[in-house]
Structure 1
Amino acid sequence: MAWSTKVEFDQSLLLWHIATDLCYYSDVNANSSCAVIQDCQISKLLSNYMLYLLVMCPFMLPNGIGHIRFEDTCAEASEVLQERKYISKREQVCQVILRVNTDVPPSKVKGDRSKSVLFDARRLAKSLESLEKDKKWSKKEKWEMISHVWVEMLCHAASQCRGLHHAKQLRRGGELITHVWLLMAHLGITEQFQISQGHARAKLILN
């Protein structure tokens, strides 16, 4: 699974968003405990929020081709589902995607020009599922790990976003990512601020 975090940020975000959804709809309907469902929901909320930023506020995320990847992935998902128009529930959509054969390299299926991450996300979801079978992880351990991945992504994005963009969004009501950025600055765990000698307060860098 380490490969999924060593790619470009927008690619990793889409991979984990789809994989989170695929695992979510499998586990919330599997008589999971309240604690597991809570972890599932936290991960799902963070996953959805990060996708919202990618689509609606891409300037707040590290530079990339996220919009192209998103459109290509949506197009590929539509192709996979086009012969299954009877499917209406998200749980059924996830089951179909999980059953797709990915033994063939994705480039052979989608072509070299497509930036879709659908098949790689399916592979990631299968790797996450295997943690329970092969590594003997509990569902709670698996979902705690997934939620940690999303927290790390959110914190990384918050620290990389220019202060000017944070300030711009504050005028429109603010974003969660900005609150995270300010909290990180307060705790001293971001490179987006500096402390001048002789001054007790932090000076936020807005450009």
Structure 2
Amino acid sequence: MLPIGIGMIRYRDTCADAMRFFKDKGPINGKVEACQKLLQVDCTEVLPHEVKGDRSKSALFDGCRLASSLKKMKREDMWKITSQVWIEMLAYAATHCRGFHHEQQLRKGGEFLTHVWLLMAHLGITEQFQVYQGHARARLNVS
């Protein structure tokens, strides 16, 4: 439902980096070993954008840095930060989809993002609904 653009480029570059990384590491048996290899990456000294510049939009090694930072935190702090980031991303995604796409999804029963969008609209924390003065009805702006 989100617009195609930089997200697709970032996804492709990240997949390409992951394929190269795991090809260089030799055979890997399962997800656990793959995660262990990624956590062994030393991303603390040189930032990924300094190595590849602005050409690559890969998020692989930024993800490795984030995972390493989160593992150093207390468990409750780690989960608090993770949940706050997910909520922020979900709210951003829900409000940056076009109303038309949400409308189409509702006809099919809706997807999670659409239900989040409606809940945000109900709570008054989205701009797609406007309440006119003097009227108790909300108007949906589908653009």
TM-score (norm: length of structure 2):
0.86
Contact 1:154 1:177 in 2 (8 A): yes
Letter in 1 for 2:2: P
The 5-angstrom pairing of residues 82-93 of structure 1 reads 82-93=23-34
In the aligned structure 1, how far is the partner of 2:50 from the partner of 2:123? 47
Match of 1:118 in 2: 60
Match of 2:73 in 1: 131
Match of 2:86 in 1: 150
In the aligned structure 2, how far is the partner of 1:68 from the partner of 1:126? 25
> Per the alignment, do residues 109 and 79 of structure 1 end up closer, same or farther by CA in structure 2, a change over 3 Å counting?
farther
Paired-residue identity, %: 54
Contact 2:2 2:96 in 1 (8 A): no
> Per the alignment, do residues 112 and 186 of structure 1 end up closer, same or farther by CA in structure 2, a change over 3 Å counting?
closer
Contact 1:192 1:204 in 2 (8 A): yes
The higher-RCO structure (CA 8 Å, 6+ apart) is 1
**Structure 1 position 201 matched with structure 2 position 143:** no
What is the RMSD computed on CA atoms of the aligned residues?
1.9
Which is richer in helix?
1
Letter in 1 for 2:105: Q
**Please, which runs of 5 or more residues in structure 1 have no aligned partner?**
1-56, 133-138
TM-score (norm: length of structure 1):
0.62
**Please, which runs of 5 or more residues in structure 2 have no aligned partner?**
none
Match of 1:170 in 2: 106
Partner of 1:161: helix, strand, or coil? coil
Residue 191 of structure 1 deviates from its aligned partner by 1.6
- May I ask how many residue pairs the two structures share in their alignment? 142
